[in-house]
């Protein structure tokens, strides 16, 4: 199949983008499609035996069906778990979307599908005059939206859908990831989103104490995403 890619964003930070990206990679591999994950910008490292590890990057690498150079998977890594433009300023780094674009071009040549995980939500600043929407526009990829199912998700999801459209990008699909197991009127909120989001619902992820990408992959329907 011709190489293709998707840009994965979320309604907020901490809504399960990495989990769903990893699940997408497993689901693609199960369909016989070679797939690789990319996390251009990551903020937040953990010290493991004196070595700084970035869990999001490691998760995508583990879920990918091909091996790729580290420099193509991740271009900007900041230790502090703070907004990326603030982290970059503190470390004296300027995030350059052209650097990411060149890395994506090389990475996407290695697999059938490349899953690019954004950072935070869709409009997170990356610098004085650039944000995540600009990055997605530069890569010109269809977008998959992860909706964190909790109180307030309707507004966040619909505003994000509007921002994706304003950027001139296609919303290819969305995933409902349950963050609050006790969310009032869950089914009604899900139905409201399904009626208003102009893209197919790819799956509903229930609340899990320790979700595994392989298990989440079984909940995703990629039939309308990858023919």
Catalytic annotation, residues: 39
For 53, 103, 168, the CA distances from 96, given in Å and listed in that order, are 22, 11, 21
Phi/psi at 200 (nearest 5 deg)? -70, 145
* Residue showing tokens 């979700």: 211
> Do β-strands 51-53 and 46-48 pair in parallel, antiparallel, or remain unpaired?
antiparallel
Q: Which residues contact 93 (CB under 8 A, 6 or more apart)?
A: 76, 78
Question: What separation, in Å, do the N-terminal and C-terminal C-alpha atoms of the chain show?
Answer: 10
Please spell the DSSP secondary structure of 37-101, one letter per residue: EE-SEEE--EEETTEEE-HHHHHHHHH-SS---HHHH-SEEESS-S-HHHHHHHTT----HHHHH
Q: Are 211 and 173 within 8 A, CB to CB?
A: no
């Amino acid at each position: 199949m011709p190489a293709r890619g998707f840009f994965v964003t979320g309604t907020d930070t901490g809504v399960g983008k990495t989990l769903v990206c990893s699940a997408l990679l497993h689901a693609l591999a199960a369909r016989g499609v070679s797939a690789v994950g990319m996390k251009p910008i990551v903020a937040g490292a953990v010290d493991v035996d004196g070595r700084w590890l970035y869990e999001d990057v490691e998760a995508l690498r583990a879920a990918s069906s091909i091996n790729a150079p580290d420099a193509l998977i991740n271009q900007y890594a900041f230790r502090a778990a703070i907004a990326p433009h603030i982290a970059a300023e503190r470390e004296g780094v300027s995030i350059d979307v052209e650097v990411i674009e060149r890395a994506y071009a090389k990475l996407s040549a290695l697999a059938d599908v490349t899953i690019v995980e954004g950072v935070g939500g869709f409009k997170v600043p990356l610098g004085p005059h650039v944000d995540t929407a600009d990055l997605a526009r530069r890569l010109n990829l269809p977008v998959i939206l992860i909706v964190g199912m909790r109180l307030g998700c309707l507004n966040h999801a619909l505003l994000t859908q509007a921002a994706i459209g304003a950027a001139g990008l296609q919303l290819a699909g969305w995933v409902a990831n349950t963050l609050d197991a006790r969310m009032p009127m869950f089914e009604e909120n899900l139905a409201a989103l399904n009626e208003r989001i102009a893209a197919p619902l790819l799956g509903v992820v229930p609340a899990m104490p320790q979700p595994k990408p392989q298990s989440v992959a079984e909940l995703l329907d990629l039939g309308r995403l990858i023919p």
